[in-house]
Copies of this chain bind each other. A is one copy, B any other.
């Protein structure tokens, strides 16, 4: 797995059960996954040499982020290393313009969009507020700007032009809420879908995930699962595909794609018979996929962000004592304000109670007693 972040770290837990040896390409021996894997190669995911050395003797190469240049993945593929997802599929998670054009070509509902190079292009797009997005490289709210008027848009375009960043304009969708569909697809062509979840964002960062999405009509849930499985098949995805969705009065629109374990799927570690990390490994290794059945009526995952206090050990103890059933996941990262350092998951029958438990734990770990 290329990348030493928390996704690779949690993939290691699944690899241990499956008896699969996980090798990680990490930029440091101190990265989240590098701390818990025995076969760590330190290197640069943008260096083809490092990738080639890393891939040698690997059965399959997969990714914990989207930042490996497509031409490098193609070079590995041409040298005979299976990369899953492959470069052709992964491009749709790397380049928002390619993704939007391909999905709309397939008839998948997406927000109205247009590539923009100048402030005049944005004005011609003619929808306010407008969402401007970096075509490449954004994540966790970075690379997304909501502009209320032409003056704001002009400032974003000027800065982006100066930095050589290509932009896409999108209509600002008046969504009711955000949902996510998580599916897996193997090279053999087997597919598996998890229940549709509601994701609650705050400052562009996933804050809370509720599984399943409360009150979602079963027909709409099934429609969203089918949509994600269909996208996975049409784009030739191997491994996981997370589809971030806007729910509107008319139905769902696709917001973003990711082809790896995804923050919206962390609840599956305890909340599903097969965690997304195990499922990703099964899919990329072309093993039969696992059961996606839930283990409880509701699961709520809340991200833990760093607060001002770096020693969170007393808080960690409080959270465990306060609620013996809440599951904590720490990523082995130093605490910095606003940094994702872990997550917590609560399970149960009563949504309000489960949500309160997850929120309390995540809030307490960040802020302590208030």
Contacts and interface: CB of A to CB of B under 8 A. Distances in A.
B342 A19 contact: yes
B16 A290 contact: no
B40 A289 contact: no
A154 interface: no
Given A34-B38, A36-B12, A330 B288 contact: no
Given A295-B296, A320-B290, A12 B17 contact: no
A212 to B, nearest CB: 17
Interface string A33-51: 0111110100000000000
Contact of A321 (B34, B36, B288, B330): B288
Given A38-B34, A295-B295, A317-B288, A325 B273 contact: yes
Q: Which of A18, A274, A331 has the most CB of B within 10 A?
A: A18
Nearest to A17: B329
A13 interface: yes
A80 to B, nearest CB: 20
Given A16-B12, A291-B325, A317-B288, A347 B273 contact: yes
Interface in A10-38: 10, 12-13, 15-19, 21, 34-38
A327 to B, nearest CB: 7
Listed from nearest, the 7 A-B pairs whose CB atoms lie closest are A19-B330, A291-B325, A288-B321, A288-B320, A291-B324, A13-B13, A17-B329
14 contacts: A10-B16, A13-B13, A13-B16, A17-B328, A17-B329, A19-B329, A36-B37, A38-B40, A270-B273, A274-B324, A287-B317, A288-B321, A289-B324, A295-B295
